[in-house]
Structure 1
């Protein structure tokens, strides 16, 4: 009886382990992976976000995107309202370029308050990364798409990057271009920055 009991115990434990591991490893559906945020609180945007990785549906623009050494955005929210100043920055070699805009957001979507010839709208998407911001841009009414993963950190864990890759696959986007975390970010823009360094950059 003891030997039989042991065999039954081992069998049950094995089945339980298999079922448990299967439930944890089951991949999320695309509907879940790329669902928009239910609501983005303005205070969550505040501060500097470093670009960790990004993807663009236009492969020619991907090659241009790869020239960046680093990139990021600075958000300043306006007294708890659903508007914010949005300043993009990118470093190419020893030069920094900045592009300021104002955005308005409602729920998970955002638009640029200034006139945009690119007809640009965006969506904040869900991410399990606790200190990340996932932004998906629709340019010229679905003519092309840009998807960027920002974080307060310069480098993410492997599981967080794997999630981003899966999200891009669901969006039918090219594999991500990953920024080099050792490359220095541009300093925050000030009024004393030389004019050459304040060249506007693409909103995305």
Structure 2
């Protein structure tokens, strides 16, 4: 057989290049979809209670603190202002419940916690194929740390394995460690505390939040 002509080699290379370009456009990297903040958000979608299913942080002390929690519940509710949400996080430690409440302002795809200038806490919602889940990305900046946190929340206490694997893929995109997966058999705290904290006890809870950053 004769050697292929120069023109035929050029044609083959051109066809190959076009094919590779088409493939790259048709199948973007997985991370591009998994890490892009959602920009079309309906506030009513977040209303109500969510159970933390899994979470990961790139700040080791905070990761250890997450492991010590038996369960975490998060509540979102709309306020009188369209761009503001009310947020309540309830951490359970054994038979004790810790209630943390914040206002969150929304601007585009960025949600900013009002933490009284103690530190900076911004939140973004990321893609998830789970129909009753949300994935939150937190960016925490303070004098003690700068960290990225990812949390998988669901209306259920436990999600399907494929849904958890998708979350693990998101963690890899951010180079975060294997997640802390919450025990779905652990009891959740009630939405409202049985006994309202006294005026003396409230500052102590605020100090606990500050120490975590």
Please give the range of the TM-score, normalised by the shorter of the 2 chains: 0.7 to 0.9
Q: Kindly tell me the number of residue pairs found equivalent between the two proteins.
A: 179
- Structure 1, unaligned runs of 5 or more: 1-25
Query: C-alpha offsets along residues 140-167 of structure 1, whole Å, 9 cap, x if unaligned?
Result: 1782111111110000001000000000
**Structure 1 counterpart SS, 2:63:** helix
The aligned counterpart of 2:119 is: 118
CA contact under 8 A between 1:110 and 1:121: conserved in structure 2?
A: yes
2:8 aligns to what?
none
1:156 aligns with 2:156: no
**Would you say the 8 A contact 1:42–1:82 is kept in 2?**
no
The equivalent residue for 1:67 is 68
Post-superposition Cα deviations, 1:19-41, rounded to whole Å, max 9, x if no partner, equal xxxxxxx9961111111112211
Tell me the equivalent position of 1:199: 205
Match of 2:57 in 1: 56
Q: What do the CA deviations read for 1:84-115 (whole angstroms, capped 9, x no partner)?
A: 11011110011000100000113321002342
In structure 1, C-alpha distance between the alignment counterparts of 2:174 and 2:79, rounded to whole Å:
32
Query: Please, which runs of 5 or more residues in structure 2 have no aligned partner?
Result: 1-26
Provide the residue aligned with 1:134 in structure 2: 135
Aligned to 2:192: 189
Where relative contact order (Cα < 8 A, 6+ residues apart) is larger, the structure is 1
Larger of the two Rg values belongs to structure: 2
TM-score (norm 2): 0.76
TM-score normalized with structure 1 length: 0.79
RMSD after superposition: 2.5
1 CA distance for matches of 2:28 and 2:132?
A: 22
